Structure formats: C-alpha cells, structure tokens
Amino acid sequence: MSGSSPLWGTMKIYDFDEQLVEGQEAEAFLDTVFSKFAIIEPVGMELQRKGIDRVFTMDERQLYIEYKADRKASMTGNAFIETTSVSTTGEAGWARKTQADWIVYFLPQEMVAYLIPAKEMKARLSKWLNTYRIGKAYNQGYFSTGVLVPIEEIASFSKKISCL
C-alpha cells in the first residue's frame, strides 16, 4: 500500500498483517528446503524474542536459526540489515538483537538463500554503518531503519544455497 506524507512524499507503507503472512509462507517454504539437511523445530515466543525462529539439529548438534525473507533485494541488489525495528521506541532491529547462530537470508525472486554466520555479520555491522546507505521501511505509525548492504558483500562471507 502506498501512502503520502508531507514529510516523506509518496512511499511504500508496509502492512504488519500482510508482512506476517508473507513471512510465515517463507518460513514454511524454508522449512521444506532445509528439512533435507536437518531436523527442524519451530520455537516458542521466548526464543523468538531473542531472534531465533528455528532450531536445526544436524549430526546431534543444535543450531539456532533466524529466517529473513527480502523481496526487494533482488531488484535493488542490497540486503536490508535492520538496525532499528521501531523508530518511535528505538527498539533494536534483528541484526543487533539476534542470538541466532545463523541467519537464513532468503531472496524469493531468485529462489536462493544466504546462510550468514550471525557473529560475523554483527562484527561487520559498524563498518557497514559507516560505509553503506541507511534505508527506511515504513509501517503504520513508525518506520524501521537498516543498512543497505550489497548482496555481493553478504555473499563474500556466507554460503549461497539454491532453493529450487
């Protein structure tokens, strides 16, 4: 949905409920893709608040996973690495607060996912904030901010997986 504001002009305003449904569809798809490699368990609210969406069990080892789906990255060439979730409260974005071991960053238009080591991503965040542009994602009554990191940069330290 597009909206207009004297301050920001015409912009895309995201609807939380629509985003939730799209996110759930992406999660179900990614569960199918990764179930070939791991036993996948959804998590409860306590772990979700820590930025963990799934527990993957592989070779008796458990890994905490956060899923992210980005429908714009294929068009822009940039990943939106969220640093502030809610502008009105200053709540930290997923890149700052995740306690996952890995981020699965899914590009649905390309049917690829990048397996990003979360600790390494966090270690690069300060440099990215000083190097790349900051973007905003507008929601009803607030916006989220994130650094726009080129997909090539993400690919340089992550593993690319075909989801076909």
Give the residue-averaged pLDDT of 73-101.
Answer: 93
- Which value, to the nearest 10 degrees, does the dihedral of the CA atoms of residues 106, 86, 2, 146 take? -50
Residue 14 binned pLDDT confidence (cut-offs 50, 70, 90) = low
Q: What pLDDT does 36 receive? A: 93
C-beta of residue 114 within 8 angstroms of C-beta of residue 158: yes
pLDDT reading at 3 higher than 50? no
What per-residue confidence (pLDDT) applies to 2? Answer: 41
pLDDT digits (tens, 9 = 90+) for 88-132: 888 899 999 999 999 999 999 999 999 999 999 999 999 999 999
Q: Cα-flanking dihedrals φ and ψ of residue 105, to 5°?
A: -100, 105
- 70, 83 Cβ separation under 8 angstroms: no
141, burial (CB in 10 Å: exposed 0-12, middle 13-18, buried 19+) = exposed
The dotted CATH code for 11-162 is: 3.40.1350
Model confidence at 86: pLDDT above 90: no
Mean pLDDT of 66-89: 92
What ranges do the domains of the chain cover?
A: 11-162
